[in-house]
Amino acid sequence: MRLSCTNLISAEQLTYEDTQLVMRIAADMEKVCLGGGDDRLRKKILASLFYEPSTRTRLSFESAMYRLGGEVITSDGFQFSSLYKGETIEDSIRMVCGYADIIAMRHPQLGSAAVAAAVSDVPFINAGDGPGQHPSQALLDLFTILRERGSVEGAHVAFVGDLLYGRTVHSLCALLSLYQGVRFTFVSPKELAIPEKFTASLRKNSIPFTESNDIGDALAADILYSTRIQKERFADEAEYDRLKHVYVLDAQKVSRSKAIIMHPLPRVGEITTDVDSLPNAAYFRQARNGLYVRMALLALMLDAV
Ligand code: NCD
């Protein structure tokens, strides 16, 4: 069993069948975890290259590798070593290929994942390329929707927050578009609206969507996917300060809604902590699902399923 692609750069590469395969293997991986893991990736090495901060993505990829009996190499000081010294992405990747069997990389530059994958001799996973894509997050988000709602088909999904720079939104929007009957509501300030290329693709595929700047329009959805305003992508700090708390979900708002509340995390004020104990607050379960989905991806891409 294999994915249709050897490298995972963008969610747009994935077919419906690919997503179904990952969902199925991820569900198996949950059982593998309950049994304490297995050894199918013994003697395999993951290079975990994070040129931009990460907690969940990095730790869940590394934990996934260990849970399947593999090893991880990384460099805590990457921001301060090759990137700092001015080495090109291509040179870094050519070198790392000699040390590892698979690479997961996060980099601040849009398009860096495609550049890296083009010179990689081993399977490559984009763990976030600036404001571009974050396909493994989209797969874990899809898995979460399946778990929490029972099905993806026919879902009304509202994305709220920074839809311009939020790479998780870009990737999830592409995956959900593979499913019948899905419709979208995009809620953002006009400065952070979803890029035209995504709405153009929705129009082309006759997928219904609406755009709004009122969070009230998101509360009627089946899934409310809240996101952080991406501070690191703003050239002007005052502009960030003006927009950072534009949409805040609190228990009062959420208890009026039946929506499943998701967030890729970290949250920095978009969801108040009184929401956490509500049954529809799914974001911590979502983060946990990242482990199973990344175990599935590593196993699939290393031919160990
Ligand atoms: C997201 C990311 O890095 O794009 N985090 C994550 O991977 N869980 C979202 C964010 O940083 O806001």
Q: What pLDDT digit, counting tens, does each position of 231-270 carry?
A: 999 999 999 999 999 999 999 999 999 999 999 999 999 9
Four-CA torsion 227, 72, 23, 202, nearest 10 degrees: 40
The pLDDT of 85-91, averaged and rounded, is: 88
- Whether 158 and 259 have beta carbons less than 8 Å apart is answered as yes
* Pairwise CA distance, residues 148 & 29, whole Å: 18
Question: Cis (ω within 30 of 0) for the bond into 266?
Answer: yes
Share of residues in the chain with pLDDT > 70 (%):
97
The pLDDT of 145-156, averaged and rounded, is: 98
| Ligand 1 atom closest to the CA of 230, numbered from 1 | 12
At 84, the pLDDT band (50, 70, 90 cuts) reads low
CB of 168 closer than 6 angstroms to any ligand 1 atom: yes
DSSP structure class, residue 122? S
Question: How many A from CA of 264 to the centre of ligand 1?
Answer: 6
Give the total residue count for the chain.
Answer: 305
Report the alpha-carbon angle 274-277-279, nearest 5.
125
Stated pTM of the model: 0.97
* Pairwise CA distance, residues 161 & 138, whole Å: 17
Which two structure tokens, joined as six digits, stand for 10? 């963008």
Query: CB-hemisphere CA count at 13 Å for 200?
Result: 3
Q: What is the pLDDT of residue 85?
A: 76
Q: What is the pLDDT of residue 70?
A: 98
| Ligand 1 atom closest to the CA of 168, numbered from 1 | 4
- Whether 9 and 115 have beta carbons less than 8 Å apart is answered as no
Asked if pLDDT for residue 81 goes beyond 70, the answer is: no
- Whether 227 and 168 have beta carbons less than 8 Å apart is answered as yes
Report the alpha-carbon angle 206-160-267, nearest 5.
140
Q: What is the pLDDT of residue 286?
A: 98
At 203, the pLDDT band (50, 70, 90 cuts) reads very high
Q: Which positions are catalytic?
A: 56-57, 85, 106, 134
Cβ atoms < 10 Å from Cβ of 223 = 26
Q: What is the pLDDT of residue 80?
A: 52
Of 156 and 85, more confident: 156
Closest residue by Cα to atom 6, ligand 1, is 264
Tens-digit pLDDT profile for residues 25-75: 999 999 999 999 999 999 999 999 999 989 999 999 999 999 999 999 997
Question: How many A from CA of 58 to the centre of ligand 1?
Answer: 11
> Residue 271's beta-bridge partner residues?
249
| Ligand 1 atom closest to the CA of 57, numbered from 1 | 7
At 251, the amino acid letter reads A
CB of 263 closer than 6 angstroms to any ligand 1 atom: no
